[in-house]
Every structure is written in structure tokens, then in C-alpha cells.
A and B are shown apart, each in its own frame.
Chain A
């Protein structure tokens, strides 16, 4: 068989499989009469551009990776049900209500649904016409489409319940030709699809293509194997017949010899068949390799007792190693970034010790000194002989990491800018903080001089005032130190931070400003607060921001005490929670989303950077930040970050 396979033939054999559902007779497409283009134009249903505008969920690479690993192992273990597994995986990673895979029929006139998951599962085997339906639209436009209520246009969907609130569809291709779509549907309004869903579907679409080709190859292989078996039976029958003939009819020896020659020919044909089968197997391997290359995922197996390691081609490519050499832990170690060697050792020790699943991310240092980031997931299991074998996948996530690093730098710049901005607002209170001890110093020194110029000099009094001068000098110096810490550092520093201490420092710096604004600050700091890991100064920025926001929100309050309550407490799962509750004007719950957008402000003199920077700082610390309206007047702003033991 040459390289140019007929796609139709493949679909035919694919449909010949046992478990891939065929379009059932009872679920035929709705007759064409009802699918005459109606009054609802397609454009009025399309929302595709919304995808970019909607706030996107953060990418969940770990979840995605696990899903891909599960799919890869499902493809190896039970390829027959791979499309159903794919539909279920899509449903899970996108958290949608229904999902499915649509394939073009061999005659290219219809789509049918071999696999559905979620609420539409009962409709497996149904389908839509090629030229008047959502899947067809996707193929016509050759792009992902987000559509609402397509039953308004394609009225034959009306009996299919529940109806579509919105659906996201993506084409997938085999050898450059679109052969089907994968799609997700929400039946309710509680969640809307966003760019992250499109990204997830795109990744899974590549897998769908691989799975489709693998299935097709397997089917062809099976056909060829059955051909070969038939040939073998024929050979056996011929041989049997031959024996009889030899025994009974030696006179027909000549004829039998001719039959034998035929048999040889048959055998020759069989060998050719087998060669073809092998070629097919290689092709299906090639498809898998191609899928791995596209998604930059390599797979591996590791037999822990013998140290035997097998890599897929993509892993050799990621490690930039030749396929000739034997893969050993030492060889891997030679590519791992020296700073991450302890991670590797830890992983090996854990795998040998517990045999439990592992997930790591470490760096590789290439001979040309470039650095790659590798995300590794391993699943450990015992084989028949009780030996521990790890099967896993490794993804080159360098691009993600580099863009995250760039983002981190931009974030640091922004945080620094916010810091400088608040510097202006703080100048007044800084002067106040420094002038207080300076005042003591000048007065004490004056008194001291006067006492010494008396006749006789009052040495004891002078000594006491000199001592106080020194103490006030130290106070002034402390103030300067705190300010330096708050405004000088620019890059993120990870250290163990006691949030209570950090909070006390911020309070010390802002107390006089709060007092000037007549704010009564109450402080409830928990004794059992876990330490957190992070950048002390950035966290203090957030606390300072909370305090200033709370204080500003009470500027116009005259009929009740301007109370500000700052508390720390231990949160669920060994996290540290800090909240600042004010009695101010609160905020409009309608604009809750906007609250955290950069440059959104309700203040006349505000820049609107504070809360958005605060949130990104907290997210960078693996935590979350939120705002709630109080039962009484005012609002509470809070964040929760993981304790140091968890990070």
C-alpha cells in the first residue's frame, strides 16, 4: 500500500469496527425538507470573536498533561473505545455539559456522532447533514466556531434535548483534509466558553487526528491479518489434499507438484502481505510520533529494577540525543540542569522507595547552554512479574515558562511602578515619621548643652538627655531602614515570611497617615499563623494597599466611627489569610469584575493600579485575593496564600 491512502476507505474500515457506533437506522438525520435555510441567518448565531474578549481561565497545563497521558495510554490499551474516551476527556477538561466527536461519512454527505459524552450521550449514532449544520459550517470556514442556540437555524435539532445555550466546535484534519469536528456544548448559562477552552480543544484536536489515523491503521492491519489467516487455511487444506493424493494417487504426482507450486506462490503472497502489515504498523507508529512532535510530548517507560529505559522519538529530540545510545539515568543526568540535579535524585529516590506516581518540573541544560523546561508525569505499576515499571510522559514547556518569565518581569515592573506611585502619597507620612524622632533629638541635644553650660554643670541630667538622644536617633534610623526595604528592591525575592511581622511593619509605617484620616485601626493577629514563602516586600505592598484603600473608602464617612480591622488567621489547609475590613462606602457589586482591572478606580485621585497589581502579586504567590461587601457598611478585602510547608 503506498503513502496515499484513500480517506474514504479508512472511514469504511473504521466503521467496520465493533464498538465505534454506526449511524443507527432509527436515528437518521432529519429529512432535508425541514432543513431548508430558514429566517435565522448563521451570522446572528456566531459568537466566535467573543472568545478573545471574555476573561480567560488560567491555563491548567498539569490537568491537560494528565488528560493527554491518560488518552495516550487508553489508545494503547483499548483503541476501540478511544473516541468515546476522547469525548469524555474533552467533557472533563472543559467542564462542559455535553461533548462529542463528529466524523464525515464515506460519501461525504453527512456527519455522524460515534462518541458523545455528558447530557447528550443518549444521542450517540445520530448526526447532521454535511451542508446544513454546525459541523458543516466549521468545515466551510475551516476554523473554530462559537455558536449559540444553533437549533434556531437548524430546526432539526429541536427534538434534541436539552437545547444548546452555546457550543464551541473545532475541525480536525488528516493529511491536511478536514474529516470531522470535536465540540463542546453548554446547556445552561452558568458558564461561558473562553479562549482557554479553545486552546484545550486545539490540543485535543491534534490528538483526535492521531487517534483517528491509528484506528484506521489498526483496522487495515486487522483486515490484512484475516487475509493472511485465510491464506494459511488454504495452504493447510492444500497440504492435506496433497498427502491424500500422495498416498492414494501417485499417478497424479505431476499435478500435485503443480499444486505445490501454487502453494509456494500462495506463501509468497502471504509473505508480501505480512510485509505490508509490518509497514502499516510502522505507519501507525509514525502517526503517534507525529502527534508527539506536534504537542512536544514524549513518552517513556522505566523498569526500575533493571534500570532499563525506553524513550519515544520525541524525547530524544527534546534531549537532543542520538537514538543510537542506550538511555541511562546517568545520560539523563548529563542533560539535567546542575541546579535541578537534586530534584532528579529526589524523584529517583521516591520512585524506588514508594513506587507512587510522580510529577516534576525541571530544567535541562543543552550543550549550547540554552535551557529547556521539562514537565514530567510518571505512573508506576507492577508488571506480571511484580516488577515496578513507570510509564509516563514528558512535555517540553519551555515556551510556556519563558512567556511566564516575561510576564513575571512585567509584573515586577508594574509592582515597582505602583510602589513609586504610592511613594508620592506616602511622602507626607514619611516626613512625619522621621520628624518625630528628629524633634526628640534636637530638643534633647539642646537640653543637654544647656545642662552642661550651667555652673556647676548638671552632668547627670546631661547624661540622661544624651541617652535619649541616642535612642531617638536609633528610632529615626529604624524608620529609614523600613522605608528602604519598601522602596528599593525591584526583583522578586523568595523567603520565609511571617505575615504578622510584615503586617506590623506596614502598620508602623502607615499609622500616622491613618490617624490623620481619623481611622481607628484594630489589629487581630493570629498566634498560630503559618509562615508563607514569598517576597516580603511585595506582600507588604498588598497589605499597604488594603489599608490605604480601606482608609480612603471611609474619607466621606462622618456619621459612624471610621473603623478599620486588620486580621490574620489560619485558613483551611495550612494557608495564611489576611483581611482588612472597613466601614466605608463599599463598592457596587455590579462592578465587582472591574474592581481588579488595571486603571479602574472609584477615587478622584487614584491611579487604579493598586488592586490589579495586588491580585497579580497574590496569584504569583499561589494564592487568591477577593473582596466582599460586609453585612453592615463597608467592604472586606482579603487574600489567602499557601503556608511555607505547602510550597
Chain B
């Protein structure tokens, strides 16, 4: 399975994680690396927007509720700037209304925290296939 991502993308795709929660930023990259992805973490949407990784990012794992720019704000901003990065939203707030809205605005997948490794892997596969 580890080679699947390589085959689909032709290279090791960069998965960016944007979440203000530190335990997510610490734990998720290790798992993603175990899956075989290169990762880069950001604690805010603003930080991600100003980083070099923006153009290389193959998939974005994005938290909804953050101080300052929220996940939705970032999604809109990326669309405005013409970036079509597939987005997997993650949220600790179990709200179906928010989830539906995310899909309407073009999210690939929406995971409620805590999520399993297989759910994440499936979401990543979907996202990279979209790409």
C-alpha cells in the first residue's frame, strides 16, 4: 500500500496539514510519513498561504475552527487565487450542517476527530485520485 501514493502521483506528493491544535500537528505527520507521504505542518491558514509549500501541495488536511482565518476562509481564498488543491476537512466539532456545507463548497472528504488511520488513508486516496 505504501507504494500506491507514489504510483498515483508519480512522485511522493506533499500533504500539508493546517491545524491550530498542537497534538494534531505532532501526531498526524508521523502517520502520514508511515503512509509514505512527505508532509508539512502549519498552525494557521495565514502561515500556509505565505509559505513556499503552497504550490507543491498535493493535498490539504484542514481544520475548520481556527482563530483568525477559519478552514472555510482558507478554502475560499485558495479558490479566489486559482489553486485547486483537494481538501480533506477535519473537525473536532461534530456538526452535520458544517459537513454538508464543506462538501457543497467542494471538499473531497470531511473527517470528524478522532478518525481512524484507514479512514484517513481512504480520504487521501480519494483526494489524490481527484487530483
- Is A431 within 8 A of B92, CB to CB? yes
Chain A residues with Cβ under 8 A from B26's Cβ? 440, 468
Q: Provide 19 A-B residue pairs closer than 8 Å at the C-beta atoms, listed in order of the A residue.
A: A431-B94, A432-B65, A433-B92, A435-B114, A438-B113, A439-B21, A439-B27, A439-B92, A440-B26, A446-B116, A447-B117, A450-B34, A451-B34, A461-B30, A468-B23, A468-B27, A512-B92, A515-B67, A516-B65
Chain A residues with Cβ under 8 A from B115's Cβ? 439, 442
- Is B100 located at the chain interface by the 8 A CB criterion? no
3 A-B pairs with the lowest CB-CB distances in the bound complex, closest first:
A440-B23, A439-B113, A435-B92
Q: Which of A431, A439, A450, A471 has the most CB of B within 10 A?
A: A439
Chain B residues with Cβ under 8 A from A428's Cβ? 93, 95
Within 8 A of B (CB), among A449-480: 450-451, 461, 465, 468, 471-472, 475
Alpha-carbon gap, A132 to B115, bound state (A): 87
Known: A465-B30, A468-B27. A443 touches B94 (CB 8 A): no
- Is B28 located at the chain interface by the 8 A CB criterion? yes
Alpha-carbon gap, A451 to B26, bound state (A): 16
Task: Return A172 CB to nearest CB of chain B, in Å.
Answer: 68
Alpha-carbon gap, A441 to B113, bound state (A): 10
Known: A447-B27, A465-B27. A436 touches B66 (CB 8 A): no
- Is A435 within 8 A of B31, CB to CB? no
- Is A435 within 8 A of B113, CB to CB? yes
Given A439-B113, A440-B24, 16 other A-B contacts at CB below 8 A? Answer: A433-B92, A435-B92, A436-B21, A436-B92, A439-B21, A439-B92, A443-B114, A446-B31, A447-B30, A465-B30, A475-B23, A512-B92, A515-B66, A515-B67, A516-B93, A520-B67
Task: Return A516 CB to nearest CB of chain B, in Å.
Answer: 5
- Is A541 located at the chain interface by the 8 A CB criterion? no
| Majority-rule SS of A interface residues | helix
Chain A residues with Cβ under 8 A from B23's Cβ? 436-437, 439-440, 468, 471-472, 475
Chain A residues with Cβ under 8 A from B66's Cβ? 515
Alpha-carbon gap, A490 to B22, bound state (A): 35
Alpha-carbon gap, A336 to B92, bound state (A): 58
Task: Return B84 CB to nearest CB of chain A, in Å.
Answer: 27
- Is B116 within 8 A of A442, CB to CB? yes
Alpha-carbon gap, A176 to B93, bound state (A): 73
B26-70 to A contact mask, C-beta < 8 Å, 1/0 = 111011001000000000000000000000000000000111000
Alpha-carbon gap, A447 to B112, bound state (A): 18
- Is A447 within 8 A of B31, CB to CB? yes
- Is B34 within 8 A of A432, CB to CB? no
Chain A residues with Cβ under 8 A from B31's Cβ? 443, 446-447, 450
- Is A85 located at the chain interface by the 8 A CB criterion? no
Alpha-carbon gap, A471 to B22, bound state (A): 12
Interface residues on A, range: 20 to 34
Alpha-carbon gap, A451 to B24, bound state (A): 18
Chain B residues with Cβ under 8 A from A472's Cβ? 23, 27
Task: Return A399 CB to nearest CB of chain B, in Å.
Answer: 52
Closest to A512 in B: B65
Known: A442-B114, A443-B114, A515-B66. A432 touches B93 (CB 8 A): yes
- Is A444 located at the chain interface by the 8 A CB criterion? yes
Q: Which residues of B contact A (CB under 8 A)?
A: 21, 23-24, 26-28, 30-31, 34, 65-67, 90, 92-95, 112-117
Alpha-carbon gap, A468 to B30, bound state (A): 11
A573-608 to B contact mask, C-beta < 8 Å, 1/0 = 000000000000000000000000000000000000
- Is A443 within 8 A of B65, CB to CB? no
Chain A residues with Cβ under 8 A from B94's Cβ? 431, 435
Task: Return B65 CB to nearest CB of chain A, in Å.
Answer: 5
Chain B residues with Cβ under 8 A from A520's Cβ? 67
Alpha-carbon gap, A34 to B90, bound state (A): 89
Kindly identify which residue among A438, A465, A515 contacts B114, using a CB–CB cutoff of 8 Å: A438
Alpha-carbon gap, A504 to B49, bound state (A): 32
Chain B residues with Cβ under 8 A from A433's Cβ? 92
Kindly identify which residue among B28, B113, B116 contacts A436, using a CB–CB cutoff of 8 Å: B113
Alpha-carbon gap, A438 to B114, bound state (A): 6
Task: Return A523 CB to nearest CB of chain B, in Å.
Answer: 14
Task: Return B78 CB to nearest CB of chain A, in Å.
Answer: 20
Q: Which of B21, B24, B67, B92 has the most CB of A within 10 A?
A: B92
Chain B residues with Cβ under 8 A from A471's Cβ? 23
Chain A residues with Cβ under 8 A from B116's Cβ? 442, 446
Chain B residues with Cβ under 8 A from A516's Cβ? 65, 93
Chain A residues with Cβ under 8 A from B95's Cβ? 428
Closest to B67 in A: A515
Chain A residues with Cβ under 8 A from B34's Cβ? 447, 450-451
Alpha-carbon gap, A472 to B26, bound state (A): 11
Alpha-carbon gap, A472 to B23, bound state (A): 7
Alpha-carbon gap, A436 to B91, bound state (A): 9
Alpha-carbon gap, A440 to B90, bound state (A): 12
- Is B24 within 8 A of A436, CB to CB? yes
- Is A441 within 8 A of B114, CB to CB? yes
Chain B residues with Cβ under 8 A from A515's Cβ? 65-67
Task: Return A219 CB to nearest CB of chain B, in Å.
Answer: 82
Task: Return A467 CB to nearest CB of chain B, in Å.
Answer: 11
Alpha-carbon gap, A443 to B17, bound state (A): 14
Alpha-carbon gap, A277 to B78, bound state (A): 106
Chain A residues with Cβ under 8 A from B28's Cβ? 443
Task: Return A303 CB to nearest CB of chain B, in Å.
Answer: 71
Closest to B22 in A: A440
Chain A residues with Cβ under 8 A from B21's Cβ? 436, 439-440
Alpha-carbon gap, A435 to B24, bound state (A): 11
Task: Return B121 CB to nearest CB of chain A, in Å.
Answer: 10
Within 8 A of B (CB), among A233-251: none
Q: Which of A431, A441, A461 has the most CB of B within 10 A?
A: A431
Chain A residues with Cβ under 8 A from B90's Cβ? 439
Chain A residues with Cβ under 8 A from B30's Cβ? 443-444, 447, 461, 465
Alpha-carbon gap, A432 to B24, bound state (A): 13
Q: Which of A432, A436, A512 has the most CB of B within 10 A?
A: A436
Task: Return B96 CB to nearest CB of chain A, in Å.
Answer: 13
Alpha-carbon gap, A439 to B21, bound state (A): 10
Alpha-carbon gap, A486 to B95, bound state (A): 24
